Chains A and B, each alone.
Chain A
Amino acid sequence: MNNRKLSFWLFLTPVLLGLGLVVVLPFVYGLIFSFTDWNGITANNFLGFENYINLFKDAEFRAAMGFTVLFSVVAIILLNFLGLALALLVTRKLKSSNFLRTVFFMPNLIGGLILGFIWQFIFISVFDDIGQALGIEALSGWLSTTNTGFWGLIILTCWQMAGYIMIIYIAYLQNIPNELIEAAEIDGASSWQRFRHITFPLVAPAFTISMFLTLSNSFKIYDQNLSLTGGGPYNSTQMVAMEIVKTAFSENEMAFAQAKGVIFFLIVSIIAITQVYYNKKREVDM
């Protein structure tokens, strides 16, 4: 028994050490620095909550927060809708379903930065060419206004993440016992009724996972944002993560950026915890 305990801890040490050194320790340090005037080199004064008070007065931070929230709401709805739709499509015993699964999942394998640049080319050049050929003016000048920047980001995120969410839904869809569906069919349930009253409640756990994933992902987006719009035009499509990086590394206000980071962390964790709590309640146990 003793041996077991010892080796248990020995095997755990590397992970604990790693986690402690690269996550916990910097987090604590950061928390402390956020109360000072740290500039990245030295911290001279303890400021108390001054950074936190200034942060709520910072118009740019609030704008970035607003944009991120709006983006997340739209992205979560669309992503889950698309993910479930794709999952339903590829679980329908089509001949090409394996091939389709691969295709839908593929965008997820490309890094965010590269994706951003690819889509930037599509939005700016390809859209423009198509628009000119077909005479659709709305396709020109993408990414040069706040609106097109916003939808550009949404399209990019959906394209990248939908395949991943699809995989999660597939796993749950395949776990639904066939008997239930057959029984319902015999009872005369229409396909919509079958989906609404059997499939949907049974994939609710997948919904929890996907919501959590999409929420935290779209809140924390940085690389796609950076490479697609770079926050432009005039920082109006800048998300919180990017705003924090800018405050820290271009404006050199390290401690202030750290305070923003702490607030960002609190917001994301509160949303995520509440959401998981509520969704858990709704799940059906089999």
Chain B
Amino acid sequence: MKGQKYFAKVASALAVTSILLAGCGSSEEEGGTNATSEDELTVDIFQFKVEFKDQFESLVELYEEENPGVNINVKTVGGGNDYAATLKTSFSSGDEPDIFNVGGPSEVEDYRDSLADLSDTKAAEAALEGTLSGVTDGDEILGLPFNQEGYGLIYNKRIFEEAGINPDEILTHEDLVNAVETLDSQKEDLGIEAVFALGAKETWILGNHLANAFLAPEFNQDLMEAYKSDTVTFEKGDEMKRFLDLQNEYSVQPTVSLDYSQQVEELFSLENVAMIQQGNWIYNTVHEMDPELAENNIGILPIPVEGFEGKIPVGVPNNWVVNNNSSDEVIQASKDFLDWMYTSDTGKEFVLNEFKFIPAYEGFDTTKIADPLSQEIYEYASEGNTLGWVFMGTPLAWNEEKLAVRMQKYLSGDLAWEELETQAITEWENSRQ
């Protein structure tokens, strides 16, 4: 009798323990997916773009149908910071993906030892000039661009028309000021709250995008030049200040608590403001709010930078990379998949119509670019009217945590602009020591 009780106790305790251990054990199984089973290759993709998760998965399914020997697992973790942290975790736990994403040169450096050379892929050959500069190391091409993105001042065509402004005539800062003043004087008739909505709560709007337009000339539009630079001089600091002041003065107040969703959804999509500084990625959001507005009534104006009028900052937001530590077959299969996505007909059609990307590769039928904003940006890009995206080459988090935070302080009236420049320069130099 006693023995039985004892046995029951031990058994139940063991059962509880095994449940706990089972929880820990499952990750080990997942870790083993790199191994090739008899005739099937498994490629693990770990990507960050939540917005196109469903479309991407259906593309993967198409590929698997065409290539029965390959099995692709897609794991998506969203949002910049979470992705970087999760990727790090998976590397330190040994559960490394075969294909993953890197942003700019600093991440390339972090993962340098794990990146396979992709210069022999067809996609690398087809990549547009300049789109590979952030991921090239000597002769090796370590990444393939996702797509291109561009930003500027997105405006409401109807409001501009009613105010009698021709957007094509706005090139210089003075032109812009005139247009803004015209709009401001007719605010009531036009039914708008203010001319701009400056989303100054979002550090990336200030530190990445706004600042980039005025920092790019200093580094010859070259991401890598910024990445290697020991200092920053704010050559065009006065223009940056002027442009920031203009947006702030004519914006819905208070700007420092105005976030992305208020800016794009509440204020721009509901036609409460005439212009916002944003990029082509807002198209889907605007479309959800008001398809009519999105399809016919929005356009993009370049940010006026002296000497570079009529140019739009266009860049590559993210890159695909292949893990060097995977087996040779898996590396090859990964390259094949990426090639297929950007160079096969099925893949190309998907990239344009389903992902709604502005392609970073040759050989696309660009008349099929899905939305007018992207179309316009692609035109600027193909005519070479672009500014570089240097913010990916600044010291890590410098633009958002150091520069943008000080811009917020400046907007709150607690910091002088000269002081901001000096402090931001010091921060840059400190992190590049």
Q: B-side interface residues toward A, CB under 8 Å?
A: 2, 6, 9-10, 13-14, 16-17, 19-21, 24, 81, 84-85, 88, 91-92, 110-111, 201, 253-257, 262, 396-397, 400-401, 405-406, 408-409, 411-412, 414-415
Contacts and interface: CB of A to CB of B under 8 A. Distances in A.
Given A41-B92, A141-B253, A18 B84 contact: no
Contacts of A233: 201, 256-257, 408-409, 411-412
Contacts of B408: 232-235
Given A13-B13, A40-B92, A234-B414, A21 B257 contact: no
Contacts of B201: 230, 232-233
B20 A252 contact: no
A230 B396 CA distance: 20
18 contacts: A3-B2, A3-B6, A6-B10, A10-B17, A13-B17, A14-B16, A39-B110, A41-B91, A144-B254, A232-B256, A233-B256, A234-B256, A234-B406, A246-B401, A249-B85, A250-B396, A251-B396, A251-B397
Interface residues of A, number: 30
Contacts of B396: 250-252
A190 interface: no
Q: Please indicate which of the listed interface residues A11, A124, A233, A246 has the most CB atoms of chain B within 10 Å of its own CB.
A: A233
Given A40-B88, A41-B110, A249-B85, A7 B17 contact: no
Contacts of A40: 85, 88, 92
A13 B6 CA distance: 17
A145 interface: yes
A234 B405 contact: yes
A70 interface: no
A88 interface: no
B88 A10 contact: no
A7 B2 CA distance: 13
Contacts of B21: 17
Contact of A234 (B24, B85, B409): B409
A215 B110 CA distance: 39
Contacts of B85: 40, 249
B306 to A, nearest CB: 28
Contact of A141 (B13, B88, B257): B257
Nearest to A38: B92
B401 A11 contact: no
A90 interface: no
Interface of A: 3, 6-7, 10-11, 13-14, 17-18, 21, 39-41, 124, 141-145, 230, 232-236, 246, 249-252
State the main secondary structure of chain A at its contact with B. loop
A241 to B, nearest CB: 15
A124 B9 contact: no
Contacts of B409: 233-234, 236
A255 to B, nearest CB: 13
Give 10 closest A-B pairs by Cβ, nearest first.
Answer: A10-B13, A144-B254, A234-B409, A234-B408, A144-B257, A233-B256, A7-B9, A40-B88, A251-B397, A141-B254
Contacts of B2: 3
B84 A249 contact: yes
Nearest to B410: A234
A192 B188 CA distance: 60
Contacts of A6: 10
Given A17-B17, A234-B406, A41 B88 contact: yes
A250 B257 contact: no
Contacts of A235: 401, 405, 408
A11 B17 CA distance: 8
A156 to B, nearest CB: 15
A6 B415 CA distance: 67
Nearest to A12: B13
B249 to A, nearest CB: 16
Contacts of A232: 201, 256-257, 408
A144 B262 CA distance: 14
A10 B14 contact: yes
Nearest to A145: B412
Given A3-B6, A235-B405, A250 B400 contact: yes
B236 to A, nearest CB: 23
A252 B254 contact: no
Given A7-B9, A18-B20, A40-B92, A234 B412 contact: yes
Nearest to A152: B257
A40 B89 CA distance: 8
A261 B21 CA distance: 29
Q: Please indicate which of the listed interface residues B13, B14, B24, B401 has the most CB atoms of chain A within 10 Å of its own CB.
A: B13
Contacts of B406: 234
A13 B81 CA distance: 36
A148 to B, nearest CB: 9
B428 to A, nearest CB: 13
